[in-house]
Amino acid sequence: MMQLDFDLSSLQEARDLLRKAKQAQAFFAEASQEEVDRVVAAMAEAGQANAEWLARMAVDETKIGVFEDKVFKNLFASRDVHSYIKGVKTVGIIAEDPEARVYQIAAPMGVVLGITPTTNPTSTVIYKCLISIKARNGIVIAPHPSAARCSYAAAEVLHEAAKRAGAPDGIIGCMTKPTMAATNELMRHDHTAIILATGGSAMVKAAYSAGKPAYGVGPGNVPVYIERSADIPQAVSDIMTSKTFDNGTICASEQSIIVDRVISDQVKAEMVKQGACFLNREETDLVSKALITRGGGVNPGLVGRSPAYIAEKCGISIPAGTRLIVAPLQGVGPEHPLSREKLSPVIGYYEEEDWHTACLRCIELLNLGGLGHSLVIHSQNEEVIMEFAEKKPVFRILVNTPSAHGAIGATTGLVPALTLGCGTWGNNSTSDNVSPLHLINRKRLAYNLKSSKPAPVNIPVKTSTGAEELTNEVIATVVRQVLAKMA
């Protein structure tokens, strides 16, 4: 009975939040660009001011990740995202073609449903709220049940800041009693205009199946290739920085290293020097069984945990201070579980003869669960870099940069975002880093340029006996005249 009462109250909460967001958004849709920007700036400032305690709350509640890295993500989601979007026009005419006399006018979509994960809870809430409000939408957050408290806290921080800056009450809402039934209700409710989903593959698939427009994120089984011309110490440093960041919870972090065999010994030595521990075959089997489930997913109890914690749970011994666990692998697929996405400071390691075979290995890994997402290459050879850019089935090819940071736009010129589309290759509706411009409708204002009346056609006639006989040649002449007038 208690569970039934909780489920019913959860459903009611979902409906109430949507109703309030719908009413608030109808009011906010009339806001000027100046008013919108003032609200968004206040929200970003609040996100920055509260970055640390929200990070602490996220780590304490979920037991996932690293406090300092959670702070970084909260600051990125508020400061860096706002720095990019603050100059983006989302009200009135946002694009024009004076020659064609076509003008694009922004219109908000309505209420956004933001589904957020347990791995990056507070930062994802901050990011989704900022881009939704910037586009004059309302938003309701459906958090992962394991991160409900910290997600709600982040949403409330932004909601209060938005209201102080002039936004209506209810423009941001967050479930306090998240259940699958309530999330399904949110996804299918008439008041929901669009779904912005971050989570496991099942949740993203459900979002796309809800009968609403949706942006989801596919899995990121990201390969990183160290080509023989690479700066090895820098490449290793970038990989270690990225893969250990927040204990590997960002979907864009590297999952497998592919190395030219001729430099493999140097790479291994540098990795050990920087804190990596290479497993033997028996240890690899133990970690595989503990970390990856029979269905190919990641054991939730080991997601975002430290190397020491993972080693203890797997029954292996690693040196004190180990930053990254490295598993040498010979193949890709179900027989090699660690060739999948791992969401932890564990990474696969492959040796290949040259960039040709490395290319094939990367494609194998992407086909296992990373199509459309990201790939990293460390190289000084522009020809090889372009081969990878042109041939790999991903939409973010990152060069000489940490993947987790580069893909989200922290160390590259990509749009700063925490929702990274994988395009049709990853069964997603966009291949972009999602921004406020993905959350607006575009009206087209188009002026007349040509007359709609058909031009007169001269039909040949005889001067003596009247109209000329309509032979095939005459008909062909008339057709040519009509087509010429229409060109």
Query: Could you read off the pLDDT of 10-25 as tens digits, one per residue?
Result: 999 999 999 999 999 9
Residue 175 contacts residue 140 (beta carbons within 8 Å): yes
Pinpoint the alpha helices (H) of 353-451. 355-367, 382-391, 403-407
**Based on the number of CB atoms within 10 Å of its own CB, is 246 exposed (0-12), middle (13-18) or buried (19 or more)?**
buried
Pinpoint the alpha helices (H) of 211-280. 232-244, 264-273
Asked if 203 and 262 sit in the same domain, the reply is no
Q: How many domains does the chain have?
A: 3
pLDDT score of 200: 76
Asked if 313 and 462 sit in the same domain, the reply is no
- Evaluate whether residue 50 is within a structural domain: yes
- Evaluate whether residue 251 is within a structural domain: yes
Catalytic residues: 251
Asked if 203 and 237 sit in the same domain, the reply is no
Residue 187 contacts residue 212 (beta carbons within 8 Å): yes
- Evaluate whether residue 423 is within a structural domain: no
Assign residue 21 the CATH number of its domain. 3.40.605.10
| Residue 459 domain boundaries | 455-487
Name the one residue in this structure whose structure tokens are 């001067």: 463
Q: What is the pLDDT of residues 246-270, one digit of tens each?
A: 999 999 999 999 999 999 999 999 9
CA gap 278, 276 in Å, rounded: 7
Strands of 192-197's sheet, edge to edge? Answer: 172-174, 138-142, 111-115, 192-197, 214-215
Instruction: Give me the sign of the Cα torsion angle 226, 229, 231, 233.
Output: positive
- Evaluate whether residue 363 is within a structural domain: yes
Q: Which residues of the chain have pLDDT under 70?
A: 1-4, 218, 455-472, 474, 478, 482-487
Record the pTM.
0.91
pLDDT score of 8: 86
Asked if 226 and 375 sit in the same domain, the reply is yes
Contacts of residue 72, defined as CB under 8 A and 6 or more positions apart, other chains included, come to 245, 246
Q: Name 104's bridge partners.
A: 95, 444
- Evaluate whether residue 274 is within a structural domain: yes
Contacts of residue 60, defined as CB under 8 A and 6 or more positions apart, other chains included, come to none
pLDDT score of 470: 58
- Evaluate whether residue 243 is within a structural domain: yes
Contacts of residue 377, defined as CB under 8 A and 6 or more positions apart, other chains included, come to 224, 225, 227, 384, 385, 388, 397, 398, 399, 400
CA gap 387, 77 in Å, rounded: 33
Contacts of residue 411, defined as CB under 8 A and 6 or more positions apart, other chains included, come to 401, 402, 405
Residue 217 contacts residue 419 (beta carbons within 8 Å): yes
- Evaluate whether residue 354 is within a structural domain: yes
Structure tokens at 182: 């309530």
DSSP E strand boundaries for 205-360: 214-215, 222-226, 254-260, 276-278, 324-328, 346-352
Asked if 192 and 226 sit in the same domain, the reply is no
Name the one residue in this structure whose structure tokens are 């347990």: 118
Asked if 227 and 333 sit in the same domain, the reply is yes
Asked if 197 and 258 sit in the same domain, the reply is no
Q: Name 272's bridge partners.
A: none
Question: Which residue from 126, 130, 106, 111 is spatially nearest to 195, judged by alpha carbons?
Answer: 111
Assign residue 362 the CATH number of its domain. 3.40.309.10
Q: Name 214's bridge partners.
A: 195
Asked if 316 and 361 sit in the same domain, the reply is yes
Asked if 298 and 336 sit in the same domain, the reply is yes
pLDDT score of 180: 92
Residue 46 contacts residue 160 (beta carbons within 8 Å): yes
pLDDT score of 438: 97
Asked if 86 and 191 sit in the same domain, the reply is yes
CA gap 80, 415 in Å, rounded: 10
DSSP E strand boundaries for 368-459: 372-378, 394-399, 440-446
- Evaluate whether residue 204 is within a structural domain: yes
Asked if 8 and 44 sit in the same domain, the reply is yes
Strands of 276-278's sheet, edge to edge? Answer: 276-278, 324-328, 346-352, 254-260, 222-226, 372-378, 394-399
Asked if 171 and 276 sit in the same domain, the reply is no
